[in-house]
Copies of this chain bind each other. A is one copy, B any other.
Amino acid sequence: MSDSAHDRGVQMKLPRFDIKTMGPAIALILLCIIGYALNPAFASEGNITNLLTRSAFIGIIAVGATFVITSGGIDLSVGSMAAVIAGVMIIIMNNVVDTFGAGVTTVLIGCGCSVILGLGAGWANGFLTTKGKIEAFIVTLGTMGIYRSLVTYFADGGTLSLDFSIRGTYRPVYYDSFFGLPIPVWVFIVVAIVGWILLNRTAFGRYCMAIGSNEAVARYSAINVDRIKTWTYVIQGLCVSLATIIYVPRLGSASSSTGVLWELEAIAAVIIGGTVLKGGYGRIGGTILGALILTTIGNILNFTDLISNYLNGTMQGLIIIVAVWLQRGDWGRARRAKT
């Protein structure tokens, strides 16, 4: 086989790859055009900033979910986990404020606890899935219920509010900007880049895909399957805790309704982005676009009163289906071939 054939092969593949990658991007651009057509204020700087900041929560969580799903798992507990972490964080900060004052120390203690809790909760999901050998769906359905009811219990059914004295210190984490972009957006960007590198440029990412693709092959290839799978849940937990850290200063409160349905949104973002639900193929870039698409849909619906409020869900459902259908293109074939 000649070298020129090689080169030809490479060139031929590229456009196919592009279509696949471009799918979610095209869907997002279409949505933006629709938004602008409905109301030019859609493109205002303020709105774009709001949109990006909002995407940060789901986006950061979805980056974690990309790892879990790529390695063949699923995590339904993220929304509840965010709620309980936010709750405990607030309780802790309110308690230490007397000792450490309302300064940065208290906030850092809160953030530290958030990270520890996220890692712990993620590890628990991973441990039960791998060592307990229980289907991830069941484990995380269980912990979803547990975390949700714990936050309700801590808040006594109501709302946990951050001490007003701390809010001033913590507020900038959500509301301030840095080089024109709000801090949550920066966090999102950093998480996305780190996630992309981790998935595409490190052995860990390779192992995630291998496990999702075929666990037995992974085992025969000297991969510690249980350890890698547990790590994906731990990463998911870490992402949830980061999302929580930028969520809490927004309203300074957590309740049993915090983070409801975030798990479905996160998974939807991942799938819209082109990651395969059954594992083996993951795309962080797609996930980011997926999160942006979901947020944009909600934003657009708030920008028009053309349709009855009650039908928001219908529009949302239709747009999601059409967005995925748009990018299906080559996908249908690719997926069929996989099975």
Contact residues of A with B, CB < 8 Å? 72, 76, 128, 132-135, 137-139, 141-146, 148-150, 152-153, 156-157, 214-216, 264, 267-268, 271-272, 276-278, 308, 310-314, 316-318, 320-321, 324-325, 328, 331-332, 335-336, 339
A132 to B276, CA, bound (A): 16
Number of copies: 2
The A contact surface, by secondary structure, is helix
Contact across chains for B133 and A331 when beta carbons are under 8 A apart: yes
Contact across chains for A277 and B135 when beta carbons are under 8 A apart: yes
Q: Which of A132, A133, A336 has its CB near the most chain B CB atoms (within 10 A)?
A: A133
Determine the chain B residues whose CB is within 8 A of the CB of A148 once the complex forms. Answer: 313
Determine the chain B residues whose CB is within 8 A of the CB of A141 once the complex forms. Answer: 264, 268, 317, 320
Determine the chain B residues whose CB is within 8 A of the CB of A332 once the complex forms. Answer: 133
Contact across chains for B137 and A325 when beta carbons are under 8 A apart: no
Contact across chains for A314 and B149 when beta carbons are under 8 A apart: yes
Contact across chains for B277 and A310 when beta carbons are under 8 A apart: no
Q: Distance (Å) between the CB of A250 and the closest chain B CB?
A: 25
A143 to B318, CA, bound (A): 8
Q: With A153-B311, A325-B134 given, is the CB distance from A142 to B320 under 8 Å?
A: yes
Closest to A321 in B: B142
